[in-house]
Amino acid sequence: MVSTLQGVSCRRILKALSKGETDPARLAQLADPGLRTGEAELRDALSGAANLEPCLRAMLDVFLTRIESAEQNIEKLDKLIAERLKAHNDAVVRLAGIPGLGANSAQQIVAELGPEAATFDSPAEPASWIGVCPGREESAEVSRSSRSPKGSRPMRRILNQAAQAAVKAKGSVFEAHYRRLVGRLGHNKAIWAVAHKMAIIVWKVLHDRVRYDEKGIRANPAAARKRASRLVGKLRQLGYPVQILLAPTAQATA
């Protein structure tokens, strides 16, 4: 009935269940009006609420309390990280504008690579250090393996997750790059190729101090505006002063 147990509607319903609510109609009314599932279907799905044993309700309440506590701690730590990275505010904001990345992943990348990626002189160097470039194992001029080197595990995780999200950005260069490769390479290798492309763009944004400029075809401008609004809200929540620029003077090409 719902896509995730962490959604707002589902959390409200679970909270009411844990507190002893048994009426399926009242539980269904807690769902957001925008939920795809209709109220009648929700009532039917929640018809067994009256039979939920008290001990199970108590266990549910314990787990929900633990989740809320963890979320509060995460929010507190996010703000502490943002406070430490305030000196590099511009780098974080510029990185967060890349499809697939967000405020949290941008902070992690700046912490790993530095605000200007100054250690690396070319985009190939961070790609190799991270481990998202094809490897070379040759003997007598015969290639024996093209597996990527192990590289930096934290950055590999960040870019892999970012690539998974970026290929879903309709009309972006990452979606186009993935679709061009997935038929020949399969999903996993195509995602790795997208992560390699992202590593190059990340270096460009940091090293050259430019902003990401989407060169793909944005099929849904409303979705792009919604993502931008959500991203700005998250950055401001963390304490970053965000200025909306309509015409950046310097841009990164994808």
The CA-based angle 23-25-26, given to 5 degrees, is 70
113-139 pLDDT tens trace: 999 999 999 998 988 899 887 644 444
- Give yes or no for residue 71 having a pLDDT over 80: yes
Q: Which residues contact 227 (CB under 8 A, 6 or more apart)?
A: none
Residue 210 near residue 245, CB atoms below 8 Å: no
- Answering whether pTM is above 0.75, one says no
* pLDDT at 253 (0 to 100): 46
3-state secondary structure the chain: CCCCCCCHHHHHHHHHHHCCCCCHHHHHCCCCCCCCCCHHHHHHHCHHHHHCCHHHHHHHHHHHHHHHHHHHHHHHHHHHHHHHCHHHHHHHHHHHCCCCCCHHHHHHHHHHHCCCCCCCCCCHHHHHHHCCCCCCEEECCEEEECCCCCCCHHHHHHHHHHHHHHCCCCCCHHHHHHHHHHHHHCHHHHHHHHHHHHHHHHHHHHHCCCEECCCCCCCCHHHHHHHHHHHHHHHHHCCCCCCCCCCCCCEECC
Decide: 103 and 96 in contact? Cβ < 8 Å: yes
Predicted pLDDT of residue 254: 46
Tell which wins on pLDDT, 42 or 186. Answer: 186
Contacts of 24 (CB under 8 A, 6+ apart): 42, 43, 44, 46, 47, 49, 50
Cβ–Cβ < 8 Å for 49, 27: yes
Q: Which two tokens stand for residue 7?
A: 């959604």
Q: pLDDT tens digits, residue range 177-214?
A: 999 999 999 999 999 999 999 999 999 999 999 998 88
pLDDT, residue 28, reads: 87
Lowest mean pLDDT among 74-83, 86-95, 132-141: 132-141
Question: What's the mean pLDDT in 23-29?
Answer: 89
State the pLDDT at residue 196: 93
Closest by alpha carbon to 16, among 4, 31, 36? 31
For the record, the structure tokens of 67 come out as 């989740």
> Residues with Cβ < 8 Å from 127, sequence gap 6 or more?
133, 196, 199, 200, 203
Q: What mean pLDDT do residues 215-235 have? A: 70
Residue-level pLDDT at 131: 86
End-to-end CA distance of the chain: 39
CB 85, CB 111: distance < 8 Å: yes
